[in-house]
Amino acid sequence: MVKKAWSIMILMLVFLYAGTAMAAVAVSWIQPPSGDVCIGSCVAPSGQASATGTIGGTGLDLMLVLDSSGSMTTWESGKTRQQWQKEAAIALVNALPTATTAVGVVEFDSDANTIRVLSQLTTDKALVIAAINSVDASGGTTIGTGIDKAKAELIGVNHTAGRTQSMVVISDGETSGTPRTNALAAVAAGVDSIHTVGLPGHSVTTMKSIVNGVDNIYGTADDLGTYTDGTDVTALSGIFSGTGGNLVGIDHVEITLPDGTVIASIAIDGLGNFTVPNWIMEAGLNTFTATAYDTAGNSATAILALNGVNCNQVPEPSTLLLLLGALPSLAILRRRFSR
């Protein structure tokens, strides 16, 4: 019964966040560019939608900010908080798209250390998970120092230009200082979002305050990210993978194919990226329309116009006659040069 209540609450939080930070709905086509395409060719146009006022991100740079303080040795529901944290962090990494994601790891207790810089999951996923497993449990707690370290990495030289910059803070919330101040400073410095996961027995007040935004009230438009309560991080993982919400505030994207077929809600990932099913190019204009909606019903539309052309076209009769007429002249020239 408790687990069911947690699941319902987490789903409510996901939908709350999906409706926040609605600066402006935008949608654009990424590839292929408008223009001529051979008739019979197979195309799968891709695009990106956003309701946060920014668009065009090419992936995700994510910092995991993990609690390594002594209180993580506390046992909760059959395992230590340290074990709960490792399982949550690894589950999150496994939910991320590997091709366009880099992950780094920071641990914090009385101070903070970057134990893994932003690393591409395509090549370094095992090393990222090894860094998660290396986090110990001793000392005091200052969550703010961990946020500061993660901020420095996200806006530093290892950041890939164009990618969304996010961090996830996992902790029991027992801390000195005011980590909300550090979180606000991180966003002011360029970090796009900050999410928190409260481990079993955590301080709800502290973990919520980190993402509350300027008004210090959770669930309003200036939230920095999501707060997840409990041991189930499925909802948070879903936000990054796109199966349970997204980081860009989009409710859904509608696609109209050239033949008039409408895809009412095409799949999007956590960054609002979408890909149209394979389409065989027809002669003439092939028009794809994407309309993105936020949860308030605001929308934006983008049109992709591809022109189907015959790439194996036989020359027109008049052109063919000109070519045939030029052949004798070419033969004479060849004889002259061969003397």
The answer to whether residues 62 and 191 belong to one domain is yes
Number of domains in the chain: 2
| Relative orientation angle of helices 179-188 and 143-154, to the nearest 10 degrees | 10
For the ranges 159-173, 275-289, 304-318, the lowest mean pLDDT is seen at 304-318
| The predicted structure's pLDDT at residue 59 | 84
In this structure, are 157 and 31 located in the same domain? no
Whether residue 218 sits in one domain with residue 82:
yes
Q: From the CB of residue 106, how many other CB atoms can be counted at a distance below 10 Å?
A: 28
Task: Say if residue 160's pLDDT is above 60.
Answer: yes
Last residue of a domain, one of 192, 219, 241: 241
- 296 and 321 in a common domain: yes
| In a domain? residue 306 | yes
Residues 104 and 225 in one domain: yes
Statement to judge: residues 217 and 264 lie in one domain: no
Distance CA 104, CA 119 (A): 6
Out of 241, 275, 298, pick the residue that ends a domain. 241
Under a CB-based contact definition with an 8 Å cutoff, are residues 37 and 43 in contact? yes
How many CB atoms sit inside 10 A of residue 263's CB? 15
Full domain range(s) for residue 254: 19-55+248-339
Q: Contact at 8 Å (CB) between 37 and 309?
A: yes
Confirm whether 6 is domain-assigned.
no
Is 50 exceeded by the pLDDT of residue 37? yes
CATH classification of the domain holding 334: 2.60.40.10
Does residue 9 form part of some domain?
no
239-278 pLDDT per residue, tens = 777 888 888 889 999 999 999 999 999 999 888 889 999 9
> Is 2 a domain residue?
no
Collect all residues with Cβ–Cβ distance below 8 Å to 94 and sequence separation of at least 6.
none
CATH of the domain at 198: 3.40.50.410
Round to whole Å and give the CA distance between 111 and 96: 28
The pair phi, psi for residue 230, each rounded to 5°, is 110, -170
Q: Model confidence at 139, in pLDDT bands (50, 70, 90)?
A: very high
**Measured at the alpha carbon of residue 66, what is the angle toward residues 206 and 126, in degrees to the nearest 5?**
155
Which of 193, 224, 241 finishes a domain?
241
Q: Do 120 and 234 have their domain in common?
A: yes
Residue 100: predicted pLDDT: 86
Q: For residue 234, is pLDDT > 90?
A: no
* 198 and 271 both lie in a single domain: no
Say yes or no: 148 and 128 in one domain. Answer: yes
